[in-house]
Structure 1
Amino acid sequence: MVTRLLDHNLTAQLKPLMPRITHEIELVMSLDDRDASANLEQLLIDIAALSSKINVRRDDDAHTRRPSFSIHRLDTDISVSFAGIPMGHEFSSLVLALLQVGGNPVKEDAALIDQVANLDGDYEFTTYMSLSCQNCPTVVQALNTMAVINPRIKHTAVEGSLFGDEVAQRNVLAVPTIYLNGELFGQGRTTIEDFVRKLDADSAGREAAELNQRAPYEVLVVGQGPAGAAAAIYLARKGIHTGLVGERFGGQVLDTMAIENFISVPYTEGPKYAAALEAHVGNYEIDVIKSQVATELIPATEPGGLHTVRFGDDAALRAHEVIIATGAHWRLMGVPGEQEYRNKGVTFCPHCDGPLFKGKDIAVIGGGNSGIEAAIDLAGLASHVTVLEFMPQCLADEVLMDKLNSMPNVDVITNAQTTEVLGDGEQVTGISYRDRASSETGQLALSGVFVQIGLVPNTDWLAGTLELSPRKEIVTDRRGLTAVEGIYAAGDCSTEPYKQIVVAQGSGAIAALSAWEHLIRQQTVLAS
């Protein structure tokens, strides 16, 4: 039975975009006898019906995987391919590919577009993704965009659930997983800037030289999550020359699925919220610098002097004031085998990687809200889920525990200290743990371990420069000021209590206003 995937709501979203397709494009599909092929065929027919510029053609020999399709600009070498049906989080990737292959201009920095266009070589990328992964579209869209800019770059996005044998053969245990010319290239969220940096050996040097040549900012905000974005916007609205630099726009929120406590927005999702943050920042004259990880802070040596933030060994930015909003990252267990089997069964995102463990036995480490929510979601996919909680009882909300306890394929072990992740050299095979009450030890045979034990501030690069709390948070006063004049901190990396999006935004705004007031006072003193 054919399922019509392009329903009324999706059609209403897609139809107004069709006039942006200015070149003739062809959707070439390769099908088999699975229901997924029939559904894909109907989807492509329905899409083509929305524009006279789109034609659909079936050629079962055009792709090695079935069902698959490619979007091809006629009379050119420009094309991108999907193996599977790009719905769920990947529907936006499908829409963007249609528009870009159809001639809608690529919305990237001109210098970055030139870098991609000038990449010398033939690159055949394959990305394994799942439709429930919120990070996968970043990779899929980045590579599709690069393929449109440079036809010597080819990309196929493979929906893992439809090609289980291939996923198993390549031992893909985390998404997104990226192959280049048949060899493993990388895993996890990757931007166009990241790809260019890896493919072009000279790009890092050019980036460093460009950063070093930038004039000093009045305020430099380090970190592009909710706190950093809020700080930059508040500063720009005051007319302050502001730079906003970070590793990935959105920060930790990109790894969040449902957001239901952001006041005035009853429901949104992390990637959607991050995109809204970036769009809002784009309304102001803010220098946004992506894919840069701060490695050192050098405070000014005299009042009114310039602070320096270094990125790697060669690049640096300078500013009169610095706001640090670098957020946090997943807390690790710190046991043998954890790093060795990361992305080989040890993972952190149940939404991204859960489908890869369908029908398998897995464990969730952590009995707080995030751990219990993960266990509930995974119980619908896995054969069996074991929750291991370090404390004598789980700390999750009662409503979550009631839901968990109603599930027949979930066990909870409390007072459990994980001591080792076990594996066969290729992937996870189990874990060892110790009962903290009796000191007895035990083992569980597992295929996957989902770690959900909280977050750690991204502040290691500041040790010895700024005062840090026992939890590695940057110590600030109620205005966001650190012990160093002109240096502020905001959000999850600071001692601001309650690690929530709305709190982080308020923290960023406070730090920005404090920095602005300090600048005004300094200018008044200098003028007098």
Structure 2
Amino acid sequence: MLDSNIRNQLRAYLEKIQQPIELVTSLDDSDQAREMLALVQEIAELSAKVSVRQDGDAVRRPSFAVGRVGEAARISFAGIPMGHEFTSLILALLQTGGHPPKAEASVLDEIRAIPGRFHFETFISLSCHNCPDVVQALNLMSVINPGISHQMIDGALFQSEVSERQIMGVPTVLLNGEHFGQGRMTLEEIVGRIDVGAVQREAEKVSARAPFDVLIVGGGPAGAAAAIYAARKGVRTGVVSERFGGQVLDTLAIENFISVKETDGPKLAAGLEQHVREYEVDIMNLQRAEQLIAAGEDGLAEVRLASGASLRSRTVIIATGARWREMNVPGEKQYRGHGVAYCPHCDGPLFKGKRVAVIGGGNSGVEAAIDLAGVVGHVTLLEFEASLRADAVLQKKLFSLPNVRVITQALTTEVTGDGQKVNGLVYTDRASGESQRIDLEGVFVQIGLLPNSDWLKGTLALSRHGEIEIDARTQTSLPGVFAAGDVTTVPYKQIVIAMGEGSKAALSAFDHLIRTSVS
């Protein structure tokens, strides 16, 4: 199954295994089972410390477990972990074999100390770029703590179970048979949810920080750029972020980042964090800002967090970005994750052969329709305006596809379902005023962004669209408070623009610092 180049790379990785491990298969008579057996046997041929047994008794077949010889395996794969999940397999082999994981020592200690029994199951699609982070985090936890186990499940291979459990978005995680979460989750997030004291302990650590010179709220491209530029000025810099990387983490193909011909969101986000960590920047991840309090007589502004912690700083740069815009129609929230989705790359494979709709005729909507057309049975694209707004080259590709229908002047008014999953949508034909219904099983919403500025209402000036109003130097209506990126009134929400604005905000903050007397 593996070409010679991958075999050679894998052989080099497997040399890092310190303790013998075994791959235990639970197979059936399917073609996938034969492919799985061929894969594990090929892996075993590359290292004397890897062996294969074919006497597994797992319920889900085909599957295979990864464990140390003589111990019960705590990691398993119900599916063939290729594509985005191949790295998950490699890490599972290395970590089970004793190669130390790349994680903060404090987080590893916290995982080891978690009491109880936790069996996680993660439904994924092999094309999902968010799924590996969750799979790898849960696999690592299973290696570290004997009370934790995890199985990755390829939803495309176990379609009947996906339908039975009404799983319509990936990654979907079950804990001890019950729904635990859906979508991207980091190792720290998962640990925080099952270790009840983690949030309070972290809040106490955060609150104990000394005041910053520059505090950046948000860890996307704008926030990362601001952190680097501020730190390079030699001032005390901190970044507090709900998730470092921001919405870039949910972006697949990036082909307009100058000097980089092609990359993807998770890779770019990892690069941003790595670059920021090259400097003396205090990164406080998984912390959501709730309130901004303007500087008082001591010259320090305060940012209060949802965890109960608070931070103080001489200047603040707000770079909280934006989120997917919702349709706000009946049925959308009810069926989110049960037919209503926002990431075609992640969730598209779960709708293989089915009928879906894409809402939105801009670049993201048309790209989503093109992507989905290669997987699903039929795509209906609905656009509010009289014509599509996407680039001409994308429209040409879209209209060349035989299983795509485009409806313009369409106002979606309702997502319908049977109580468990989507079964259609209703729209108004704006030309005739008539209401129309489409029978389908999935709705992908691609209608733009909303700024993450709700927590700032009444604190500083916002536009009628909720964006933070800034001047040419990124200054907000509050002295010493700057803003950058998609959360602001700056036109054109692009990664490269956000980075430039973040850099500008850091330079403006530094200029403010050197012109303001220290109390």
Q: Structure 1 length normalisation: TM-score?
A: 0.95
Q: Distance between the aligned counterparts of 1:325 and 1:248, measured in 2?
A: 12
Alignment partner for residue 383 of structure 1, among 358, 364, 377? 377
Q: Which residue of 1 aligns with 2:309?
A: 315
> Aligned ranges for residues 255-334 of structure 1 at < 5 Å?
255-302=250-297, 305-312=299-306, 314-334=308-328
Letter in 1 for 2:372: L
Question: Is 1:226 aligned to 2:226, yes or no?
Answer: no
Pick aligned residue for 1:512 from 503, 506, 510? 506
In the TM superposition, residue 520 of structure 1 has moved relative to its aligned partner by 2.4
Aligned counterpart for 2:230 among listed residues 228, 235, 238: 235
- Say if 2:74 and 2:148, in contact at 8 Å, map to a contact too: no
Task: Give, in whole Å, the separation in 2 of the partners of 1:77 and 1:215.
Answer: 47
Question: Are 2:21 and 1:31 aligned?
Answer: no
SS across alignment from 2:180:
strand
Gaps of 5+ in 1: none
Q: 1:197: which partner in 2? A: 192
What does 1:329-478 align with in structure 2 at a 5 Å threshold?
A: 329-478=323-472
Structure 1 residues 47-62: aligned runs within 5 Å: 47-61=43-57
When the two chains are superposed, the root-mean-square deviation of aligned CA atoms in Å is: 1.6
Q: CA deviation at 1:313?
A: 5.8
What is the CA distance between 1:234 and its match in structure 2? 1.6
Aligned partners of 2:202, 2:364: CA distance in 1, in Å? 38
1:42 aligns with 2:49: no
Of 13, 17, 20, the residue aligned with 2:16 is 20
SS of the counterpart of 2:156?
helix
- Percent identity, aligned pairs only? 58
In structure 2, the residue corresponding to 1:45 is in which secondary structure? Answer: helix
Report Cα offsets for 1:355-392 as digits up to 9, x if no partner.
11111111110011111111111112222111110001
What secondary structure does 1:238 align onto?
coil
Q: What is the TM-score when the length of structure 2 is the normalising length?
A: 0.97
- Deviation of 1:12 (Å): 4.3
Rounded to whole Å, the distance in 2 between the matches of 1:97 and 1:466 is 48
Distance, in Å, in 2 between the alignment partners of 1:49 and 1:313 is 49
Unaligned runs of 5+ in 2: none
| Rounded Cα–Cα distance in structure 1 between residues aligned with 2:277 and 2:17 | 25
Instruction: Kindly provide the amino acid, as one letter, of the partner of residue 18 in structure 2.
Output: T
Comparing 88-97 with 9-18, which one deviates more in the overlay? 9-18
Distance, in Å, in 2 between the alignment partners of 1:288 and 1:7 is: 40
Q: Would the alpha carbon gap of residues 404 and 526 (structure 1) be closer, same or farther in structure 2, given more than 3 Å must change?
A: closer
SS in structure 1 opposite 2:201? helix
**Cα displacement (A) at 1:78:** 5.9
Q: 1:8 aligns with which of 4, 18, 25?
A: 4
Q: 2:97 pairs with 85, 96, 102, which one?
A: 102
The answer (yes or no) to whether the contact 2:199–2:307 under 8 Å persists in 1 is: no
Instruction: Say which SS state the counterpart of residue 85 (structure 2) adopts.
Output: helix
For 1:127 and 1:444, locate their aligned partners in 2 and report how far apart those are by CA, in whole Å: 32
Aligned equivalents of 1:73 and 1:26: distance in 2?
Answer: 6
**8 Å contact kept, 1:77–1:151:** no
Shift in CA distance, 12/504, structure 1 to aligned 2, threshold 3 Å: farther
Instruction: Provide closer, same or farther for how the CA distance between residues 247 and 13 of structure 1 changes in structure 2, counting only shifts above 3 A.
Output: farther
Matches within 5 A, 1:137-152: 137-152=132-147
- Give the SS at the match of 1:309: strand
Q: Equivalents in 1 of 2:386, 2:514: separation in Å?
A: 53
Distance in 1 of aligned mates of 2:223 and 2:24 = 43
Determine if contact 1:300/1:306 at 8 Å carries over to the other structure.
Answer: yes
Map of 1:166 onto structure 2: 161
Q: Distance in 2 between matches of 1:294 and 1:209?
A: 15
- Any conservation in 1 of the 2:470–2:477 contact (CA below 8 Å)? yes
Paired residues, number: 519
Q: Of residues 212, 215, 240 in structure 1, which corresponds to 2:210?
A: 215
What CA distance in whole angstroms lies between the structure 1 residues aligned with 2:470 and 2:11? 50
Partner of residue 130, structure 1 = 125
8 A contact 1:73–1:79 mirrored in 2: no
Aligned counterparts of 1:253 and 1:481: Cα–Cα separation in 2:
24
**Cα offset, 1:76, TM superposition:** 4.2
> Matched residues in 1 for 2:339 and 2:518: separation?
59
- Does residue 1:497 correspond to 2:491, yes or no? yes
Partner Cα distance (1:478, 1:79) in 2: 55
Equivalent residue letter for 2:416: L
Name the aligned partner's letter for residue 6 of structure 2. Answer: L
Alpha-carbon distance between aligned partners in 1 of 2:46 and 2:212, rounded to the nearest angstrom: 48
* 2-structure distance, mates of 1:51, 1:66: 25
Q: Sort the Cα spacing of 1:168 and 1:434 in 2 relative to 1 into closer, same or farther, 3 A.
A: same
The equivalent residue for 1:87 is 82
Native 8 Å contact 1:78 1:148 kept in 2: no
